[in-house]
Amino acid sequence: MRRSFMAVLSLSAGVLLAQGKPPEQSTLQTTTKLVVVPTLVQTPTHEIVYSLQTDDFLLTDKGIPQLIHLDDETHQPLSLVVLMQTAC
């Protein structure tokens, strides 16, 4: 009886000590060829400027100019929320 009690006690202490350790952190490393940079350009009177071209922008990574591709607004995804309230 004493042996089984001591075994359970030492096993419980081991589990409690193991739970007290902080969780190990993992690192995720990845590469990408596309980075989306949403940009909105406004005039001082807060009017949106639509006539900009890729030559009007300069995007660099560690000082190295990067290729820029402008998408039309018509190709942007649409987010839509439908909210309905009904009375009982």
For the chain, which residues score pLDDT lower than 70? 1-23, 72-77, 88
Beta bridge partners of 61: 64
Phi–psi pair at 41, nearest 5 degrees: -110, 130
pLDDT of residue 76: 60
Residue 1: its pLDDT value, please?
A: 44
Percentage of residues of the chain with pLDDT beyond 90: 11
On whether the CB atoms of residues 54 and 68 are closer than 8 A, the answer is yes
Q: What is the pLDDT of residue 3?
A: 45
Q: How far is it, in rounded angstroms, from Cα 66 to Cα 32?
A: 13
Tell me the whole-structure pTM to 2 decimals.
0.41
